[in-house]
Amino acid sequence: MLIPPGTVAVDPGLDLFAEIDRLRRELNAVILAHYYQEPDIQDVADFVGDSLALSQKAAAADAEVIVFAGVHFMAETAKILNPHKQVLLPDLEAGCSLADGCPPDRFAAFLARYPGHKVVSYINCSAATKAQSDVICTSSNAVKIVASFPADQPLVFAPDRFLGAWVARQLGRDLVLWPGSCEVHEVFSEKALVGLKVAHPQAKVAAHPECPEAVLQHADYVGSTTGILEFARRTDAPAVIVVTEPGILHQMRKESPGKELIPVPGADESCSCNECPYMKKNTLQKLYLCMRDRTPQVTVDPAIAARALVPIRRMLELSR
């Protein structure tokens, strides 16, 4: 059999679940996973959550090693919170279009155009962008974090213009928006969503605020991945149309077993572009290998980490 270049051969007879469990004990490791990870990874993790809950878990972790089954900015945040711990990421190329679309040097030039503004940055950005921010937010606390500033305080919100615009609409407040977007959430098809609403008139729509306004206007609920899971549990509706990455359906099926869960496709219905290609870079095998070999590790320049820690801590304090 031909093995594709870059693929590491692992004995196909190996019980990866048992091996990961053994390594977890051997390393004194905690495995944190995001809801967009593949089902096997979610099932083997110690904790599955949204970005806020994962950063809270990382901040409170007493394990010696943090294995982060998510994307790079999440693992980087865990490292900033735990500079003396090893933080492992199954695939270092698990990035994020929002983080990639806000290079720190261009962000610094952008901020120079807005003197007197405070800076609220979505956690989906690099450590060097966080280091230029006054406070970090996630999709579950963005409204609360922005509202913590006096109404007359001018604010820059980065890097997600759709989340920023949604927060601005909730609060009736102007925000200067960095022009970034999530390549997954920006392509959800409004046309397909409307078609699904017509086909399932009993269904409620739950959407992530990274979606454009044209999609969000059809939603009964807008919130983080944890918020969407809670909404699906709570609603009396027999069906929920889900406008976020379909990895979340694994936990939704467990938590809301009686409900029909309907994922919305991306604009090109023939592709799987509603799946995050970065989150899906991690596999159960790569999770096992990163624990076995203790690599790849996430590192952050100590000077940048020290500056980025301040706005991350501020977010954690405001979210208590």
Phi, psi of 63 (to 5 degrees): -70, 160
Which among ligand SF4, ligand 13P, none contacts residue 225 (Cβ within 5 to 8 A by kind)?
A: ligand 13P
Binding region for ligand SF4 (CB under 6 A) out of 95-103, 110-118, 221-229, 234-242: 95-103
x-or-dash string of contact with ligand SF4, 233-272, rule CB under 6 A = ------------x---------------------------
Q: How far is the CB of 160 from ligand SF4 (least distance, A)?
A: 7
Site for ligand 13P in 197-226 (CB under 6 A): 208, 210, 224-225
Q: Kindly calculate the radius of gyration of the chain based on its CA atoms and give it in whole angstroms.
A: 20
Number of chain positions touching ligand SF4 (CB under 6 A): 14
- The reply to whether 56 sits near ligand 13P by the rule CB under 6 A is no
- The reply to whether 192 sits near ligand SF4 by the rule CB under 6 A is no
- Binder to ligand SF4 among 69, 145, 276, 304 (CB under 6 A)? 276
**Cβ of 20: how many Cβ atoms within 10 Å?**
22
Q: How far is the CB of 208 from ligand 13P (least distance, A)?
A: 6
Report the alpha-carbon distance of residue 77 to residue 61 in Å, rounded: 13
Binding region for ligand SF4 (CB under 6 A) out of 3-11, 110-118, 193-201, 274-282: 274-282
Query: Which of 23, 78 has the CB closer to ligand SF4?
Result: 78
- The reply to whether 20 sits near ligand SF4 by the rule CB under 6 A is no
Residues that bind ligand 13P (CB under 6 A): 50-51, 124, 138-139, 182, 208, 210, 224-225
